[in-house]
Amino acid sequence: MKAAPFLLVIMVGMITLGDPDDLFAQTVKQKRLPVRVKTPEWYDKVPADDSSLTARGRADSKDQQVAVDKAVASARSGLVEGIDRQWNNLLKAIQNEGVAIPVWTGEAVTLEGSTLKMQKTFKRGRIWTAFVLVRLPQSFVRSVLEERLRRDADWYSRVKDTRAVREWEGISP
Q: Is residue 68 part of a domain?
A: yes
Q: What is the pLDDT, as a whole number, of residue 153?
A: 85
- Domain span holding position 152: 40-101+109-169
When divided into structural domains, the chain yields a total of 1
Instruction: Please identify every stretch of the chain with a pLDDT value under 70, giving residue numbers as ranges.
Output: 1-35, 105-107, 172-173
In the Cβ-directed half-sphere of 21, how many Cα atoms lie within 13 Å? 6
Q: Is residue 15 part of a domain?
A: no
CA end-to-end distance (rounded Å), the chain: 101
Q: Is residue 126 part of a domain?
A: yes
DSSP H/E element including 53:
strand 52-61
Rounded Cα–Cα distance for residues 88 and 59 (Å): 28
- Entry pTM: 0.71
Q: Is residue 6 part of a domain?
A: no
Domain containing 119 — which CATH number? 3.10.28.20
Q: Is residue 30 part of a domain?
A: no
Q: Is residue 18 part of a domain?
A: no
